[in-house]
Amino acid sequence: MHSTPTNETCPLSPPAVPAMAAPDALTGVRDFQRHTAPLLRPELARLAREGQSPSQLFITCADSRMIPNVITNSGPGELFTVRNIGNLVPPTADDSVFAAVEYAVDVLNVRHVTVCGHSGCGAMQSLLHGAHRRDGRAGTPLTRWLRHGQDSLHRVRHTPARFHGRSPSTDPLERLCLTNVVQQLDNLLAHPSVARRTELGTIRLTGLYFELTTAQTYVWSPGNRGFLPVHPGADAAA
């Protein structure tokens, strides 16, 4: 990794502890019980009675800056969410991710599967710096997990994804973050349930990219071979 890693670019190194620690989880739970729980209680009670029926499987990064329900303007029961380091869908069977895909597709019968990557992804930065090759064949759980991103590394060298209407980025991290989304969409098709439903036309795969610095979301357009900005209004992208 970098000789002077930062929290934004190097997930293998923890951030420096701030002078004043952030509130712990229990503090937030108390605030939730006081202010938010009364507002959500009727809807959650309904979902408890009727069960969940989300329309979308949403696969995104575990990065704390990613906020799936805010980005998608969705509430309880609307997203079946999988979060992991680097929003990866392993090209070979991984019980954790593939179990979630199988459950969402075959049991919950979702109609959409979305992979959402983001700018400044620490997992992608680690791949660029060879973290997946560390510690020999054994490695650590994290370095072994990052090996699932090697297809994205290969793809970015030959067919990097880009923003539609722009020249390919000169930033290797941005190129990889974008390309990784497209690669994971391809990896999803290795799942038999997804492949079958895609052939039947009963499920749709979508790639999203969230730019942290601007809070702008982009959607992958295979026809345009690039990511288009999502704009407010009737049209999803322009």
Residue 173: per-residue pLDDT: 97
d(CA 177, CA 170): 13
116 is catalytic: no
pTM, rounded to two decimals: 0.86
Q: Are residues 45 and 150 in the same domain?
A: no
Q: What residues make up the domain containing 36?
A: 24-52
Is 133 an active-site residue?
A: no
Are residues 77 and 36 part of one domain?
A: no
Tell me whether residue 121 is one of the annotated catalytic residues. yes
Q: Is 61 a catalytic residue?
A: yes
Q: Is 164 designated active site? A: no
3 — pLDDT class (breaks 50, 70, 90): very low
Task: Read off the tokens for 92.
Answer: 């070979």
Would you say residue 5 has pLDDT above 90? no
Tell me, what CATH number does 76's domain have?
3.40.1050.10
Which of these is catalytic: 63, 175, 177, 191? 63
Task: Give me the phi and psi of 9, to 5 degrees please.
Answer: -110, -10
pLDDT, average across residues 110-139: 90
Kindly report, residue by residue over 70-108, the tens digit of the pLDDT. Answer: 999 999 999 999 999 999 999 776 789 999 999 999 999
Q: How many domains does one find in the chain?
A: 2
Do residues 72 and 188 both lie within one domain?
yes
Which position among 2, 30, 41, 65 bears the catalytic label? 65
pLDDT (average), residues 36-63: 96
